[in-house]
Structure 1
């Protein structure tokens, strides 16, 4: 027969168990960083850097913001909806955007940080954006949304979606990219917006109405 356990030891054990349970609850429901650490890790999607798609060098040095972005802003390019879903077309599209932004808009580089093609291929747009994303501590200042360029990661989705939905490949790639970006920077999935939330524009078309769906899908990729 086992010796009886002193009442003081039982009470002490109960207190320790209660403290552990409280710590677990805090990590899961009170401390968002702890919840993210316990969530399912999102693998890095393939993102072609600027050199890979033969980007022009910036006309001047890009500015690096010494803090993390706090949101993602979704755009569409308003270019015609190509039926060429190839990787080569994704690279051509990235060059076309950069040429427009530098030669017509007068910007030092592509305005957005990343581009998502209709075939679901991701490219780095503004130089330095991929390095910053992978390290997760800084961001490159963009030129994609007035008032948000030092706070938000901008992603251009190739095409115009005023009256048609994007291809599934583009949508799936957008979900993956947003989930990975949220993970890298600690951005809550609720902090995903459309361009028209901040500026007077129709961008990103019908994608704006799907932002609740996008946030939900990103949250699921992050493990809830």
Structure 2
């Protein structure tokens, strides 16, 4: 299946589980709420910063806000390399897999969270849309949800009980809180891939979703 048919994440994981690259955009240029922001903008590395390939087509802009967040894991080996350089290489590997093996026009997920807690933009245009807080980019991470849910890949394999590194967890909490703030998403609307599709993804992260929702709500005040 391909993007146009609303395909799932990359095929290799299912058993286990015109807008350009967003440049750095000042925080506060636009926001979903007129209230004072409770959550600071985390550092998110745009596609051009990690060396993304150009998309094979123009990402589709959905002219409405997403109503949920969907958490994934990559099912890649649990590396002990927590560096930014590795996070960039991992983002390139995911994009190559999605484009070359799955035949998708770009990375399927909107964002990727490395085991070291480094967040990178996935599908081109996702960061720009998030910072504006009014539209979203159609993804290819979860069948039936690609036009209404922000997909976050968390690097690693958590279906066999491996612990989530604290840096990655902290980053996930902060980033989900920022997404909720920008788009007006209720923290209770944070789900795992397996809530919608037949997959083991996101492994043990799924069991921690109540904890994640509570931590995000707390971060939002």
Residue 96 of structure 2 is aligned to residue 99 of structure 1: yes
Residue 189 of structure 2 is aligned to residue 185 of structure 1: no
Structure 2 residue ranges without an equivalent (≥5)? 1-32
Distance between the aligned counterparts of 1:116 and 1:98, measured in 2? 14
Give 3-state SS (helix, strand or coil) of 1:51's partner.
helix
Q: What's 2:153 paired with?
A: 156
1:126-171 deviations in Å (ceiling 9; x for gaps): 0000000000000000000000000000000000001112100000
Q: Which has the higher helix share?
A: 1
Q: What's 1:19 paired with?
A: none
Q: What's 2:211 paired with?
A: 213
Q: What's 1:165 paired with?
A: 163
List, as ranges, runs of 4+ consecutive aligned residues in structure 1 with deviation greater than 6 Å.
none
1:152-208 deviations in Å (ceiling 9; x for gaps): 000000000011121000000000000000000000000000000000000000000
* Pairing 1:1-224 to 2, within 5 Å after superposition: 41-162=38-159, 163-223=161-221
Q: CA deviation at 1:40?
A: 5.8
Distance between the aligned counterparts of 2:56 and 2:164, measured in 1? 32
- TM (norm. structure 1) is 0.82
Give 3-state SS (helix, strand or coil) of 2:71's partner.
strand
Distance between the aligned counterparts of 1:165 and 1:193, measured in 2? 19
Distance between the aligned counterparts of 2:104 and 2:43, measured in 1? 26
Stretch of structure 1 that moved more, 201-210 or 158-167:
158-167
Q: What's 2:5 paired with?
A: none
CA contact (8 A) 1:65 1:138 kept: yes
CA contact (8 A) 2:68 2:185 kept: yes
1:22-61 deviations in Å (ceiling 9; x for gaps): xxxxxxxxxxxxxx76676100000000000000000111
Residue correspondences, number: 188
CA contact (8 A) 2:37 2:181 kept: no
Larger radius of gyration: 1
- TM (norm. structure 2) is 0.83
Superposition RMSD in Å: 1.1
Which one has more relative contact order, counting CA pairs under 8 Å at least 6 apart?
Answer: 2
Distance between the aligned counterparts of 1:74 and 1:46, measured in 2? 19
Distance between the aligned counterparts of 1:37 and 1:200, measured in 2? 39
